[in-house]
Structure 1
Amino acid sequence: MLDALWYHKANMQHVYFVLLFLAALWKGAAPERILATTLAGAMALHLLAHLVLASAMLWRQADLVHLALDSMVFAVVIPVALRANRVYPLWLGAAQIIAMMAHAYRLSLTEINRFAYDMMSMIPSYIQLVALTLGLAWHAARRRRIGDYPSWSSAFAPPAQAGRLPQR
């Protein structure tokens, strides 16, 4: 039983990404949609890369396709995590930082534990699935409880023009 689950874990994860993406489009607001689209897009590009490329593109033993995908996800997740009026995107950002550090770890050392690299690059996607699932559920519950609320924090918004001194 566990062997069968382990054998199909990647396929189950892909199906779950698609279902989560569809749920975010249906029930989510802008942060959920952006994050779900980013993760589902990265998964789709990952599958496409494995179909097109016969073997991994390695440089100094680091997988360049995974590095590129993780960099793309990082470039989207971190700004959303900093601006969203939610806590769970910070979890996605933290997991993505771990994934990025896996590549830095792999590129910076000549001798590396392959298992550590694999775990640092794979486990964050599972953390992100759980975080986005919980975040979507919390968002839906919050919306039912209090109605619509702002998706984005105003903490980084520029001050209003009326209260500003003239520029010289």
Structure 2
Amino acid sequence: MVILLIENRHYLQYGLFAALAIWAWFRGEAPERQIGLIFVAAIALQIIYRQFVPQTLSREIEVPYLMLDILMFVAFSSVALRANRIYPLWILAAQLIAVLMHFQRGVLEEMAPLAYWVLIRLPSYLQMLAFAIGVWKQSRRKARGLQSRPWRLTSRP
């Protein structure tokens, strides 16, 4: 049972991200909704890609995944720099780690398996945690009747 769960953990992770995106859609505001849509779109693209190209344990840079991570970085940057929230910056920082880890494959000859696993997998778990905390905090603010601007005000000359 545990082995089956470990082998299919990405489906559990996809489900958790989708559940968070649904929660964000109904309980959050524009930044939460946009971040949820970014995660759902990335999951959909990964699932479609895996249907055509089987996953292998390659020691080379996987360009499609690199491109997806770069697109996510750009999308998260757009939200994080405009949102009147802190947690999108956490998500953006974790995405930067994910992007940079693609290049370590081309640079390092050998890396401890545990270190590699942590650096490849941990960013998405950190993003999930940050997103859950962000949606939860926004949900609590709304439940208390507190208003917070979804976007930062630009400085005026």
- If the TM-score is normalised by the length of the shorter chain, which range does it land in? 0.7 to 0.9
Give the Cα–Cα distance (whole angstroms) in 1 for the partners of residues 112 and 52 of structure 2. 24
TM-score (norm 1): 0.82
- CA root-mean-square deviation: 2.1
- Once residues 82 and 54 of structure 2 are traced to their aligned partners in structure 1, the CA distance between those partners, rounded to angstroms, is 39
- 1:28 matched to 2:19? The reply is no
- Segments of 5+ residues of structure 2 without an aligned counterpart are none
Q: TM-score, normalised by structure 2?
A: 0.87
Matched residue, 1:66: 65
**Structure 2 CA distance for partners of 1:117 and 1:65, relative to 1, 3 Å:** farther
Q: Which residue of 1 is the match for residue 126 of structure 2? A: 127
Deviation at 1:7, TM superposition (A): 3.0
Structure 1: where are the runs of 5+ without partners?
Answer: none
Q: Is 2:147 the counterpart of 1:148?
A: yes
Counterpart-to-counterpart distance in 1, 2:25 and 2:49 = 25
- Structure 1 residue 139 displacement after superposition: 0.4
Q: CA deviation at 1:31?
A: 0.5
In the TM superposition, what are the counterparts of 1:9-158 in structure 2 within 5 Å? Answer: 9-54=9-54, 61-107=60-106, 109-113=107-111, 115=113, 116-154=115-153, 157-158=154-155
- Number of matched residues? 155
Output the amino acid matched with 1:63: E
- Letter in structure 2 aligned against 1:126: Y
In structure 2, do the counterparts of structure 1 residues 34 and 93 end up closer, same or farther at CA, with 3 Å as the change threshold? same
Larger RCO, structure (CA 8 Å, separation 6 or more) = 2
Q: CA deviation at 1:66?
A: 1.3
Contact 1:38 1:73 survives alignment (8 Å): yes
Q: Which has the larger radius of gyration?
A: 1
Partner amino acid, structure 2, of 1:53: V
How far 1:158 moved relative to its partner? Answer: 4.3
